[in-house]
Amino acid sequence: MNLPQNPIFIVGYPRSGTTLLQRLLAAQPGLYTFPETHYFNVIEKTIRWEKEDRESIPRSSLATVFENIEKKMDFRFSDLEIKTLHRQAEKKQLSSKTLFEYIVTRHLLNLYPEITDMASFRWMEKTPNHAHFLERILEMYPRAQVLHILRHPVPAIYSRKLKFPFNRETPVTELARRWNRMLLDVERFQQRHPAQIFTLRYEDLVQELEKQLQSVADFLNVRFDFKTLIPFKQKQEQNAGLLILPSETWKMEDLRLEIADTNDKYHGLIPAADIAAIEEIVRDNMSRCGYGSFGRE
């Protein structure tokens, strides 16, 4: 099936509300989504391109690509699909976009059997670190729209450190530098393509839900049915498996939370020395985004 070519990509620093925004939008008719693919920040980077051909995926790269897809997405191709993809690669007909859309289509058809017409909806991909690959995404999808969500860097960074097993030993100073790098990458993209990206703040979203979602709906040019927000919590718990991979245990905890600003729980939890170390690195960018010192908020 031919996928619509006007997808929505949701990006932002990890633990900044990307999953919440994804779930809110997925509750709307005609918007469909699936678990994170990590395609541009992990999978595509493992392709060993031939020097004379940067379009067709070499068949010799497929084993590594399939291994990383399974590892990052908990996604397995059938034997028939593997044979088909190998045959396409052998004929120089398997581009990176073709492979990505193969994954997206499989997700959509598996998760939403009610879809019969691929042209009658919009699909959303949410991988926070795709914020570093927005130019590449736009190269593939010139009509794509990007939603970028921000959160105060101190609770975002500390939540990342506490929730992600692979970041528990990472110094907060390194995580702060990553917050800076992501923001600057997004801002550079925004300067080049202002009409194709919309930035909102997590704190504003949870405090002014309908107002912020209406702004998102206006940007996406979609109709937003606010009645879906009433049964949202019950629905998201029922459909948790649609968006959460088995390895993402921290997201199951988030499902049990009400839609509310969770920054407050970090006051008194984060050592003052860590707050000072983070803010020393992010201060200028944090201030430009409208955030004051976390210790004094």
Report pLDDT for 55: 84
- Residue 47: exposure state from Cβ atoms within 10 A (0-12, 13-18, ≥19): middle
123 Cβ partners below 8 Å, 6+ apart?
3, 4, 7, 8, 31, 32, 33, 34, 104, 108
Structure-token pair, residue 157: 């960074």
DSSP run (H or E) holding 258: none
Q: What is the mean pLDDT of residues 252-275?
A: 79
Q: Is the confidence at residue 255, as pLDDT, over 90?
A: no
Strand boundaries in 75-144, DSSP class E? 122-126
Cα 100 to Cα 106: distance, rounded to the nearest angstrom: 10
Which range in 110-124, 133-147, 215-229, 263-277 is most confidently predicted, on average pLDDT? 133-147
Strand boundaries in 6-58, DSSP class E? 8-11, 31-33
Cα 224 to Cα 217: distance, rounded to the nearest angstrom: 6
Task: Show the domains of the chain with their CATH numbers.
Answer: 8-33+123-296 (3.40.50.300)
Residue 279 sits at the vertex; the CA angle it makes with 274 and 280, to the nearest 5 degrees, is: 100
Radius of gyration over every alpha carbon of the chain, rounded to an integer in angstroms: 20
Q: Would strands 145-150 and 122-126 be described as parallel, antiparallel, or unpaired?
A: unpaired
Q: Which residues of 163-193 are buried (b: 16+ CB within 10 A; e: fewer)?
A: beeebeeeebeebbebbbebbebbeebbeeb
Q: Is the confidence at residue 81, as pLDDT, over 60?
A: yes
Q: Which of 65-74, 124-133, 194-203 has the lowest mean pLDDT?
A: 65-74
Mean pLDDT of the chain: 88
Q: Is the confidence at residue 238, as pLDDT, over 50?
A: no
Report in angstroms the alpha-carbon separations of 207 from 201, 236, 255.
Answer: 10, 19, 18
Cα 147 to Cα 144: distance, rounded to the nearest angstrom: 10
pLDDT category at 63 given cuts 50, 70, 90 is: very high
pLDDT category at 277 given cuts 50, 70, 90 is: very high
